[in-house]
Structure 1
Amino acid sequence: MASPAPAPRPTITATASTWQSLAADKRARQAASIPREWILPIHRLPGPKVNEVIGFPEDEKCGLLTTGDLEVTNASIEELLANLTSGTWTAVGVVKAFAKRAIIAHQLTNCLTEIFIEQAITRAAELDAYYDKYGKPVGPLHGLPFSLKDQITVKGLETTMGYVSWIGEYATENALVVDIMIEAGAVPYVRTNVPQTLMWPESFNNIFGRTSNPYNRTLTSGGSSGGEGALIALKGSPLGIGSDIGGSVRIPANFCGIYSLRPSAHRVPYLGAKNSLIGQDSVPSVLGPMSSSISGLKIFFQTILASEPWFRDASCIRKPWSEEEYKLTEHHNKGRVLSFGIMWDDGIVKPHPPVLRALEKVKRALVKKRHKVVEFKAVKHAEICMVAAKIWDAGALQDYTTTTSITGEPIITTMSPTPFAPSTSGAPFRPGSTPSSTVSAYDYWQLNTAKQALRQEYLSAWQATSTTSGTGRPFDAILCPAASWAAPPHGKNTSVQYTMVWNVLDYPVVVLPVTRVDQRLDVRRERSEFLGAMDREVYESYDPKMHEGSPVGIQVVGRNLEDEAVLALAEIVDEALKADA
């Protein structure tokens, strides 16, 4: 792909407004990168009091998408690839359709950061010329547009990752995952919004501002891959790449009604991507796909593994795609009769009614297909979360201050809609909030020892389910909430415990959508006993009217390195849900 020419780096001057000026300049350059003819006038956009905008791109009032654009952007990823690789659709036509819809999504939710559509169309034209000359596609993803979280570098572009201090730093090469996708024929065209530091389950920073949820713009799209969640929900991208250290592809997928995969560590190459907490390998961040279908997750994962990334990224393990694992040949009756453990809560907080209804809906659908669904009790999730938090805390504050000190940009301490408002909670879910978080090397070793002991205990507990599963072998997967709630208001997503435990255990996880909040069905379930203060607080926070229409998903959790199996198991769950609709 042709690299865009870098814009001149803004001059940093020693004034009180330095970081604000840099951020303002960056926003102006972003605005200038949007094709003028795709910017809707204010009177055609939904007003600030219109919360749900998920259907706006196809509304007559929008009027920007042609019939052909709608056909392309509503196509499944299989249909897209079939029409692209057969030459039925041109790469230029497909890239333009998704780029146009991405710009609409941005005007609705503020989901984009880098916009490089002109370069994408140039690349798409090269793909079309190749097809016309040779009568075949460049690769299996020929002409497929894909979006990227703003930490995954693209040559010639800035990667700020929400830090003002990184404005003006242009990548000299692509992240390896981008190279692999381009080699397969895919076309990057936009990058998406994140929180400053990445270590938040919401998406707000001092450069680009806040991303909102297209189902209700007063609610969060999640984080840290929140821009991807909003973009894909609005069909502005068929496939995106995010990252996940504590739930960062799963939380936005859950809140925005899409699919995501948190793969096992070291299967998808991270080489060349930017990150926070670099050098912290005890609970590593992983890159993972987000899409409008499980097929999109599978296609991404197969494409990456087919490139043999272990020969290019020293951190990748040598484990090619296994069709046998995907076919569940080692599972009971080759997957025809499966046993799922269902975890109604994590022993810390009981979920809100719509989340429990989603789990009940999944259970009913699977039982109808003659699969077994057996209750599973969480194993020391509070301890697992505590160990993870202390590991991240160990050097987080120094990491953030080292970066922000370049420009004097303040470290964000709250995701409240009022920027820089004092945090009453002490931001417990954003690591490293106090200097006392730092620990000695010896204490850090003890945390790793505790983590390994918890992993061993969980393995033993999973193995022991062979006596209760009903199949004579351990559970094939665990079904559990992806959060205690549907998408909460901005600044209120104050817990990630339902997702972060699986990062510590390094289990692959698929999030899939199940239902949407219905205040007639999801009435408050009266309770008089609570698991603790947090449980009571979450219970009292429930307002079905506030969440009305919001997506609710679940997690399908597999065992370490059984990524192919968890994709297959998630497909079985997804198909059962659709059959029971």
Structure 2
Amino acid sequence: MAQVKFKDAKPMNKSIWDDVKTCIFAIFLFIRYYLDLLIDKVFGFFYNNLKVPLTSPKNPIVNQSATTLAKKIRTKELKSEEVVQAFIDRIKEVNPILNAVVDNRFEEALEEARHIDKQIADASIKEADFDKKPFLGIPFTTKESSAVKGQAFTFGLIRRKGFKSEFDADYVALMKNAGGICLGVTNIPQLNMWQESYNPVYGITRNPYDTTRNVGGSSGGESSLLAAAGTAISLGTDIGGSCRIPAFMCGVFGHKPTSHLIPTKGVTYRNGKEEETMVVVGVIARYAEEITPILKVLVSDNAEKLQLDKPVNTKSLKVYYLADPKDPFVSPFREEMKSTFAGAVNYFNGLCDTPPKEIAFDGFKYGTKLWKYWMTQEPNTNFKRDIMNREREAQPWIEIFKFLTGRGDFTASTILNFVNDMLPTAKDDWARETTEKLSKQILDTIGEDGVLLYPSAPFPASYHYASILRPWNFNLFSIWNVLQFPVTQVPMGLRYGLPVGIQVVAAPNQDRLCIAVSKELEKAFGGFVPPYPLE
């Protein structure tokens, strides 16, 4: 019997296949968009009428910037004790509502403030001493997962409940050496590994603009407290957006500096000797003018590398923008975010000598794979062991079962992290090549005299716990940890009563460009808007 021969099948025309994929993706985004709206409707039904508004501060001192207050202490217009007491009083006003501060050292802080005032009064502190201590007498807070001597240091883990730090993290010591007075520590997710700040040790932190909404994570307690005027200086850490996500949701500035310039000893389990880490100590601020002086304190001897005092002519800056990275794991952008982003682009279109240029690189759509891969490369870390306080390794299936039966020690977000940990990780060669390629593409484009405007989130802060259903929206932040570029989260006012904003990215060691653009946007769009009436 003769064998029947079939002709070779012709490949589908590439352009037709591209059109098919584009159509499928458009349908997927359409469904996702309305699914996100449905999620908000359902959560909104349960949180209806539960919002608790914040009252205005009784003492207007807390509305002033840290730099302004430092100048007033220096010129004896204010005493440190007055300033510290004002912020302590404000914490007592707002913390029952927000649940931001989880441990405090109020009495010690007041005693330190009185000692400073005495030294200023008897002239034992000279003018030159103020230059060495630019924040003398100014209160600050930091997250509970960073070591502050005598303060809680549990990382939100029941196994560490009651544990107090016996030392200061290196960056905390730097701020204390600069004259800062620590008031206490603030709430976080378990082991910092989520985009909302809640844990079984301290509960959930609430958003000062709408207490039914998420504050972000992991520096969520910091951003919530700062926006509510409960602290003058706020210090966080950032490994996947941990400074910038809360800064976005709480309407303040969040700066992730160039990597490897600020010591990380005392940040959770870190000893400070880790290399090639994505984690960075960051600045959270209400006013753009505060970022540079606080950053100078934190980078210390590395300040020269950043040339923070070198003037920036924003009119001559090269501005690039990417409105949508096309990451399939990220929710579709809503109109309030699109118009916010467009407003920033249009502003620089009218300001700069060269109009902003749009860019597009495929690498941005791999945010989920890249961040997960680089987390596996973090030195001296093991999630399953770290989450058990390094006593032994967690057994994910056992912990999932205990969670489902109401007997576990972990939050739903930690359970999701267990699941994520069990999923395949990108191959080493692909991840490294893709990261290197994307980094080079961006650097070749923006150079050392340009910035990139990048979106922060698909929509403003959502209801508590809704992030469980949108676990990858943080990709918009975490990609910059992967690439290790400096980036500033910039508040751009309020929409429907909730903060909106964008991210500004620059090449490594060009932090001053991010900060200069932040100041420009603050001037144009108003920056931080208090979540309470100004009297």
> In the alignment, which of 422, 437, 461 is matched to residue 436 of structure 1?
422
Change (3 A) 1:434 1:180: closer
1:508 to 486, 496, 500: 486
Q: What amino acid does structure 2 have at the position aligned with 1:401?
A: M
1:343 partnered with 2:329: no
Amino acid at match of 1:382: K
1:561 alignment partner, SS class = coil
Match of 2:338 in 1: 356
Contact 2:149 2:165 in 1 (8 A): yes
Higher mean C-alpha displacement, 97-106 vs 430-439: 430-439
Distance 1:278 1:91, change over 3 A: closer
Residue in structure 1 matching 2:463, options 463, 481, 489: 489
Equivalent residues in 2 for 1:116-131, closer than 5 Å: 116-131=105-120
- The code of the aligned residue for 2:212 comes to T
Q: How does 1:94-173 map to 2 (within 5 A)?
A: 94-134=83-123, 136=126, 139-173=133-167
Give 2:384's aligned amino acid: L
| Shift of residue 478, structure 1, vs aligned partner | 0.9
Cα separation, 1, equivalents of 2:294 and 2:414:
34
| 2:112 match: secondary structure | helix
Change (3 A) 1:428 1:577: same
User: Aligned residue pairs: how many?
Assistant: 463
**Equivalent in the alignment of 1:88:** 77
Q: 1:422 to 1:249 in 2, by over 3 A?
A: closer
Q: Which runs of 5+ in 2 are unaligned?
A: 1-46, 530-535
Which deviates the most, 200-209 or 345-354? 345-354
Report the counterpart of residue 441 of structure 2 in structure 1. Answer: 461
Residue 156 (structure 1) shift: 2.2
Which runs of structure 2 are paired with 1:248-259 in the superposition (5 Å)? 248-259=242-253
Deviation at 1:192, TM superposition (A): 0.5
Instruction: Give the counterpart letter for 2:56 in structure 1.
Output: P
Distance in 2 (alpha carbons) for counterparts of 1:99 and 1:507: 36
Matched, 1:387 2:386: no
Provide the residue aligned with 1:230 in structure 2.
Answer: 224
Counterpart-to-counterpart distance in 1, 2:225 and 2:517? 26
Q: What TM-score, normalized to structure 2?
A: 0.78
More helix, by proportion: 2
Aligned twin of 1:576: 524
3-state SS of 2:284 partner: strand
- Pairwise CA RMSD: 3.5
Deviations 1:259-312 (A, max 9, x none): 11111221111122324899985552111011101222211111223x42xxxx
Q: Using the alignment, how far apart are the partners of 2:415 and 2:218 within structure 1?
A: 12
CA offset at residue 483 of structure 1? 1.4
Q: Equivalents in 2 of 1:172, 1:217: separation in Å?
A: 34
| Other-structure match for 1:562 | 510
Distance across 2 between alignment mates of 1:225 and 1:283: 18
Q: 1: CA distance between counterparts of 2:460 and 2:520?
A: 23
Question: What's the counterpart of residue 14 of structure 2?
Answer: none
Structure showing greater Rg: 2
| Equivalent position of 1:57 in the other structure | 56
> Cα deviations across residues 237-276 of structure 1 (Å, max 9, x unaligned)?
1211111110011000000000111112211111223248
Identity of aligned residues (%): 22
The more displaced of 202-211 and 356-365 is 356-365
Offset of 1:359 from its aligned partner? 0.4
Q: Aligned ranges for residues 263-412 of structure 1 at < 5 Å?
A: 263-275=257-269, 282-305=276-299, 307-308=300-301, 318=302, 320=304, 322-323=306-307, 326-328=310-312, 334-348=313-327, 349=330, 350-370=332-352, 372-392=355-375, 395-403=382-390
Distance 1:87 1:451, change over 3 A: farther
By how many angstroms is 1:464 displaced? 4.7
Shift of the 553–388 alpha-carbon distance from structure 1 to 2, 3 Å rule, reads: same
Do the aligned residues in 1 keep the contact of 2:90 with 2:229 (CA within 8 Å)? yes
Structure 1: stretches of 5+ with no match in the other structure: 1-46, 59-64, 309-317, 329-333, 467-472, 518-547
Asked if the contact 2:484/2:508 (under 8 Å) is kept, the reply is yes
Cα distance in 1, alignment partners of residues 271 and 413 from structure 2: 17
Q: Secondary structure at the match of 2:503?
A: strand
Q: Alignment partner of 1:301: what SS? A: helix
Whole-angstrom CA distance in 2 between matches of 1:260 and 1:356: 20
Q: Give the counterpart letter for 2:351 in structure 1.
A: K
**Range with bigger deviation, 319-328 or 478-487:** 319-328
Q: Matches of 1:289 and 1:415 in 2, distance apart?
A: 35
Pairwise CA distance, 1:190: 1.7
Once the 2 structures are TM-superposed, how far is the Cα of residue 459 of structure 1 from its aligned partner? 3.4
